[in-house]
Structure 1
């Protein structure tokens, strides 16, 4: 049965059959072709058996494997490598099929190659998942045929391989590398001018020319009979929280990715940068209930906890309870912290309903409300109109777009920091706002 299951007829064989059939048909009018057609038929049968012998007689045949990262990165192109080797004594023609996870909905994966005896081959392709979760790769199938191309032998490797898709690890590593090399400006992050002094005291030292005279410590000067100044350092270990709204407003998709996933990817990259800058990072997700709460901790290993929590975050179909969020922040976050709130408001009335809770949170903490531009509306606004109906649609789109600007001004009026951004620019603007707040000593 294994022999029967692995034996396939090559497409070229049917072309041979078509030629023989044509010879038999023509022999009706050209009789001398009839014995030639039968001779060719017996030759084809002999070649069929010989091709089977060539493919099934060797003890060592073909080896192949698929190399997949331990974790795939959501919304990024992840490289998958196929490696294969031929141990046959003749040239082989290979047709390789990799059974991709059902989430990709791709059923036409096919790669062709040819190998000589003992030759190695490899092929690399990339997959871009747009949902977190478990992705199961099926069989790696290789069809081998000889130069005769009459039959194909099927080989199966690596039955079923599950790979988890996590929030964008590639994006996090990219920003991490640039922050270490001080090249964040390469991705559009602005350099923020530092204003004034940070407030974390380091030591008292003797005055040297060039020190700011406003930092002179008069009590220490009197004791030492020499000018002494206070020295400050950048404030560290300040609590920073990513707060993600998982309600229905975050289900809206852009470029195949939900707003929630944009927020999750940005939170991971932002938390990594904050930890590298010696701040404490935490996580809170909510909708009708508080779903996840991770207290702010200043440990590099703490990022793994945040990553695992973000892996399991999903949206709900209900409206989010900002009153519940205010109660959780008041009970659990006791120190003044930077709160990055990822949510979305499509109407100014929706913002005004939640504004009392946002103001209550902002009294004790530095609150940054992050919401999204509707890029589909922007494309509609820029489109040339051809009819009265299109003018009407464009007018409504402009109204919704202007409401986003009004929401931003409304929050600024009450002293709440905001980020209004396109989904694909979220990570950049979030990190930039964090660096700005740190540089200006607002926390």
Structure 2
């Protein structure tokens, strides 16, 4: 609808209704006055409707605004961002006097704002500015369509809607503010904050680096007794820390990752855990890479070192949504073995499907011949809830037995994998980040790959 009644028209209609009501109430007491009020109200209504019709049919030479939209360099999911709109009126007669207009920025759907309708005061021949906050709620590509605004008609009885194209395509990245915040609070403090256990450091690498004087706190097992006897003071061997290692994520983007918990899909939980572990591994000097599977087109981010790699990982996955495909682990592992020749820690992020336990075991064993494998499986919270509920009737009993059977089947698959020396982590989505980082640090401490 391009027209809506303005305040003067509503006031006129209210006055007509008041006259008609007064005439009705005075019909018995003052018939003559009641008749005058009724005829006056009818005449006023007729004139008002005629004026409204003429005003609706009249067109004004409004012209198009020049609209500039100032957008942030990047959007982050769930974080508010300030948008600035600049309006410059055209050189038409209509804009030679100030106007107050209501407008709406046609932002992408599923974005949140507390001010969907904005009020702008225009100035003749000068640009006007307005700012508002906007929060993107979904990752991926998004588009601003244009601007919609309302202006008074020639007689001011209507508000006429105008739409102007002001398109802009933007990218919405996952929320990794917690990762960037780690730079401010220090690595170990951040790890403690997210619940990661502090592990004692055993050994200092395998490669001999140099002999040096003993310092307080050095491990006495590293004392070189021959050198100590030769110079008559304690000498220790120092070792070069082995940090030239690689971590590759094999990220399932299939239908099993569409399950939700705490308002996020299993895929989004996996994405956050992957970014957190990537940041940890990069800060420990490891190279991190990524391969996605079970969606339209697999994406490969080659492993690199440095915190800048975190940005490449984010750019590689920010617009992926879990598909309706089943997870083809065999094809994914074949592709990974082609691309990743060097031995690495491969973290498989998926939702374990116990119905294909033999196929999963076979493919992970094939991967294990070339890489160290860490299977991180997200389990749904529904079976845990059903198993914990009291049983009152046959329906509750059936739900309880189904939940227990599911838990038993998954436990069997995990036992089979662990019996074949495949490291497994089966956890709720909201506990995945902490569990992954702890397991990574354990493997790092043991120099397992």
Picking from 389, 392, 397, the partner of 2:398 is 392
Picking from 212, 223, 237, the partner of 1:230 is 237
Matched, 1:199 2:203: no
> What TM-score, normalized to structure 2?
0.74
**1:143 and 1:401, CA in 2 relative to 1: closer, same or farther beyond 3 A?**
farther
Counterpart contact for 1:79–1:125, Cα < 8 Å: yes
**Cα deviation code 1:246-277 (max 9, x no counterpart):** 34433444456443333233323322332222
Please name the residue that 1:138 is paired with: 145
Whose radius of gyration is greater, 1 or 2? 2
**1:67 and 1:382, CA in 2 relative to 1: closer, same or farther beyond 3 A?**
farther
Matched, 1:368 2:374: yes
**1:316 and 1:97, CA in 2 relative to 1: closer, same or farther beyond 3 A?**
closer
**Cα deviation code 1:45-92 (max 9, x no counterpart):** 99989x99xxx9999x99987554333334x34435466899999998
Displacement of 1:291 after TM fit? 2.8
Displacement of 1:225 after TM fit? 7.0
Give the secondary-structure state (helix, strand or coil) at the position aligned to 1:182. helix
Cα RMSD of the aligned pairs, angstroms, is 4.6
Distance 1:58 1:160 in 2: 21
Picking from 333, 353, 357, the partner of 2:359 is 353
**Cα deviation code 1:6-46 (max 9, x no counterpart):** 86422673353144145257547402325754796699799
**1:96-111 matched pairs, under 5 angstroms:** 96-102=103-109, 104=110, 110-111=116-117
Counterpart contact for 1:289–1:321, Cα < 8 Å: no
Distance 2:73 2:87 in 1: 24
Distance 1:14 1:385 in 2: 62
Counterpart contact for 1:240–1:337, Cα < 8 Å: yes
**1:105 and 1:194, CA in 2 relative to 1: closer, same or farther beyond 3 A?**
closer
Picking from 261, 264, 268, the partner of 2:268 is 261
Distance 1:254 1:99 in 2: 31
Counterpart contact for 2:209–2:239, Cα < 8 Å: yes
In the alignment, structure 2 segments of 5+ residues that lack a partner are: 28-33, 90-94
**1:399 and 1:275, CA in 2 relative to 1: closer, same or farther beyond 3 A?**
same
Give the secondary-structure state (helix, strand or coil) at the position aligned to 1:110. coil
Picking from 398, 423, 432, the partner of 2:438 is 432
Counterpart contact for 2:196–2:434, Cα < 8 Å: yes
Query: Would you say how many aligned residue pairs link Structure 1 and Structure 2?
Result: 428
Matched, 1:285 2:281: no
Counterpart contact for 1:64–1:82, Cα < 8 Å: no
